[in-house]
Structure 1
Amino acid sequence: MDTERKQQLEQFIQVLGLKEFHNLLVLDQALTHSSYANENKASHGYYNERLEFLGDAILDLVVGEYLFLHYPNMPEGELSKARASVVSETPLASVCAKFHMGDYILLGKGELATGGRTRPSIMADAFEAVVGAIYIDSSYEEARKFILHQLKGYLDLVKSGHYEKDYKTLFQEYVQQEGPQHIEYELCRSEGPDHDKTFYMEVKVNGKVLGEGSGKTKKDAEQHAAHTALMKLKGEEF
């Protein structure tokens, strides 16, 4: 690992609010996409998919445990729905956007050229990989604290009963509290080849742009745009 990459990772540790990271190589692997590994002939397995697998399992356990303990009367089916909403792509990608995580991920040239740094799926996968890296480098308890802190806003949605609603619905309900408003979603641009496009959508209220989002489908991009706008209006960091 060269000095520049080491400094970049140390900066990222500070951005995450972690006290320390004992093995920077584990964090480096968590932030290495398979496209970069393939282009640069990295060591076998030196990319984040295995750590992503581990982090995904830890996320399910931590959020499931939290919901089980905090909602003793919630039936199993509702617990499953609530957990799925908290650990889904939109919340994880949004947390990553707050950290500008894409700036720290090593991506192949093809992914970079098609907007990989802001692609929600890549961001969400990287979040899971970082969780796995924290667990490997430190402990389950540190990973648990990190997860609960970063996903607090989404866990609070469960308490308010909003977890089953999509962000377009939540956004619409919020802006129309004092009466009907004109809400529209508009395609800004798209990037990448036809078989692998990334769409960028804006959401406008009465002609004013309040949020932008991206996704592999226009519907996903609209959801991310609505989420961004909702955060902006509520002045919250979910």
Structure 2
Amino acid sequence: MEDLQQQLGVRFTDDGLLTRAFVHRSFIHEHPERSGIRESNERLEFLGDAVLNFLTASWLYERFPERTEGELTHLRAALVKTKTLAGFSRELDLSRHIKISRGEDTPIARNRSALLADVFEALLGAIFLDQGLDAVRAFVSPFLERHIEAVLNGTAEIDYRTKLQEQAQSIFNYTPTYRMVAVAGPDHEREFTMEVLINDERYGVGVGLSKQSAAQAAAKAALTRIQEPDESPADMR
């Protein structure tokens, strides 16, 4: 989990908490004798859900002093719903760390939105127990800040990466992979270029001011190409 801690920017005092955040209950049932892993992530998920709801409400209260209680409730629901949290997990590529039973361990199962949302909440619960509330706030606030604009603009529902993943698995039986191909511009104004591949074929290229937005643009381009099959992936090379 060393690489994951570096990626998250969180150094755990108790590595066991981080490990437990990724243990699905099916893994416990399949490996009851596994040393050191005796509990699934469900209790951490319960705790993380409560912490996330509180921090999101607090963040919205400070961020939008002019909004009514009803408006804030609507915004919070959009920020903490399953689809949104699953998107946060995909940004961090958390699915590859999940411990799940062999019978359920498929690319489709690992990328279920419900599973990914649960893991994100369990991770927040683990950070809370290990580092405290301020550490969770520091970790989750950038996600809220990035996503709130999509919510306000009415584009939060358009998650091209999720849509592409569903179509790619259904049509090609492959999960899309993303690769950064270029970075340009000064440090304060970076521009990223990402490509998306399906079975090692490039299906889309996107440019954005963050890796996430560039990947979304690449996924959108790939969806267009799949829906317009006259132009083959090879034409993009």
TM-score range, shorter chain: 0.5 to 0.7
1:21 pairs with 2:24 = no
Q: Deviations over 1:147-183 (max 9, x none)?
A: 102332112334xx22586227xx7xxxxxxxxxxxx
Q: Supply the distance in 2 between the matched residues of 1:185 and 1:32 (Cα, whole angstroms).
A: 23
TM-score (norm 2): 0.65
How far is the alpha carbon of 1:128 from its aligned partner? 0.3
How far is the alpha carbon of 1:230 from its aligned partner? 4.9
SS of residue matched to 1:137: helix
**Which residue in the other structure is 1:166 paired with?**
157
**Which residue in the other structure is 1:31 paired with?**
22
**Which residue in the other structure is 1:121 paired with?**
114
1:75 pairs with 2:88 = no
- Cα pair 1:30 1:130 within 8 Å, conserved: yes
1:91 pairs with 2:91 = no
How far is the alpha carbon of 1:114 from its aligned partner? 6.1
Q: Deviations over 1:2-61 (max 9, x none)?
A: xxxxxxx1111011122x110011111101111111110168961101100110111111
- Describe the shift of the 1:136–1:53 C-alpha distance in structure 2 as closer, same or farther (beyond 3 A): same
Q: Supply the distance in 2 between the matched residues of 1:185 and 1:55 (Cα, whole angstroms).
A: 27
**Which residue in the other structure is 1:131 paired with?**
124
- Cα pair 1:82 1:164 within 8 Å, conserved: no
- Cα pair 1:135 1:142 within 8 Å, conserved: yes
Q: Supply the distance in 2 between the matched residues of 1:185 and 1:123 (Cα, whole angstroms).
A: 14
- Describe the shift of the 1:145–1:130 C-alpha distance in structure 2 as closer, same or farther (beyond 3 A): same
- Describe the shift of the 1:83–1:186 C-alpha distance in structure 2 as closer, same or farther (beyond 3 A): closer
1:66 pairs with 2:59 = yes
Higher RCO by CA contacts (8 Å cutoff, separation 6 or greater): 1
Percent same amino acid among aligned pairs?
A: 29
How far is the alpha carbon of 1:209 from its aligned partner? 5.6
- Describe the shift of the 1:126–1:185 C-alpha distance in structure 2 as closer, same or farther (beyond 3 A): closer
Deviates more, 1:67-76 or 1:38-47: 38-47
Q: Which amino acid aligns with 1:16?
A: L
Q: How do 1:34-53 and structure 2 match up within 5 A?
A: 34-41=25-32, 46-53=39-46
Q: Supply the distance in 1 between the matched residues of 2:99 and 2:141 (Cα, whole angstroms).
A: 26
How far is the alpha carbon of 1:113 from its aligned partner? 3.1
TM-score (norm 1): 0.65
Q: Supply the distance in 2 between the matched residues of 1:210 and 1:27 (Cα, whole angstroms).
A: 35
RMSD over aligned Cα atoms: 3.4
List gaps (5 residues or longer) in structure 1.
1-8, 172-183, 192-197, 202-207, 212-227
